[in-house]
């Protein structure tokens, strides 16, 4: 059975989703240029992860003041970051399980295992976190955040990104 994409959303949203048109005319396709055992991978989560001792939270107060706005910034999460360093700023999901184990959203430990077993060439030094609720057009993401993250990944010679929406 294929995954039911709407299992965990309110029933009255399902019809709208199922009736929605295609959002793009075509797919941008880039072949993986490097075999996985030699490739460098980075991860990106939309779970609003940040390092509580050294980074600012995403701006939840701003979102409370303006409910149609979401903080479009990003945080760099280094490989090796520990659970005790992490906090989660997201008003649209319950982050109780994330406080137990960040790997459910940003599986740095699992990909470090895959690196140590030679299944991937290298887990990048830097990974990325955004907060997934954005205004309808996502303009700030498109114009600022994503180009900046892309620039950083290119500079770090990342071959592939594993994107995990929350």
Partner 1 sequence: MIVTMMPAVAERWRAPRVVGVEFPFGHAFGMPNDAAMQRSVAEHALQALSEATGPEYRLDVPIEWPIDTKTAYRDWQPLEASPIVAYNKARAAAAAVSAGS
Work out whether 118 is an interface residue with partner 1 (CB under 8 A): no
Convert 93-115 to b/e letters by CB count within 10 Å (16 or more is b): bebeebeeebeebbbbbebeeeb
In this complex, which beta carbon is closest to partner 1, that of residue 54 or of residue 67?
A: 67
Which region among 72-80, 107-115, 137-145, 148-156 touches partner 1 (by CB under 8 A)?
A: 107-115
* Residue among 24 and 54 whose Cβ is closer to partner 1: 24
Nearest-angstrom CA–CA distance, 165 and 106: 10
Return the residue of 95, 129, 130, 141 that touches partner 1, per CB under 8 A: 95
3-state secondary structure of 68: coil
Nearest distance in Å: CB 137, partner 1: 14
The residues near 127 (Cβ < 8 Å, ≥ 6 apart) are 42, 43, 44, 45, 76, 77, 78, 79, 106, 108
d(CA 112, CA 127): 12
Please, which of residues 20-39 interact with partner 1 by CB under 8 A?
Answer: 20-24, 26-32, 35-36, 39
Q: Does 12 bind partner 1 (CB under 8 A)?
A: no
Interface positions with partner 1 (CB under 8 A): 2-8, 17-18, 20-24, 26-32, 35-36, 39, 45, 47, 63-64, 67-68, 90-98, 100-101, 103-105, 107, 109-111, 113-114, 119-120, 133, 160-166
């Amino acid at each position: 059975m294929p995954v039911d994409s709407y299992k965990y959303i309110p029933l009255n949203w399902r019809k709208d989703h199922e009736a929605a048109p295609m959002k793009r005319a075509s797919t941008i396709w880039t072949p993986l240029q490097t075999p996985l055992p030699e490739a460098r991978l980075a991860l990106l989560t939309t779970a609003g992860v940040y390092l509580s001792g050294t980074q600012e939270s995403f701006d939840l107060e701003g979102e409370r003041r303006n409910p149609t706005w979401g903080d479009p910034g990003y945080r760099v999460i280094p490989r090796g970051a520990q659970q005790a360093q992490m906090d989660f700023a997201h008003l649209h999901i319950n982050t109780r399980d994330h406080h137990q184990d960040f790997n459910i959203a940003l599986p740095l430990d699992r990909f470090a295992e895959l690196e140590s077993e030679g299944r991937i060439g290298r887990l990048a030094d830097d990974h990325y976190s955004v907060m997934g609720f954005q205004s309808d057009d996502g303009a700030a993401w498109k114009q600022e955040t994503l180009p900046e993250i892309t620039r950083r990944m290119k500079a770090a010679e990342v071959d592939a990104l594993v994107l995990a929406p929350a």
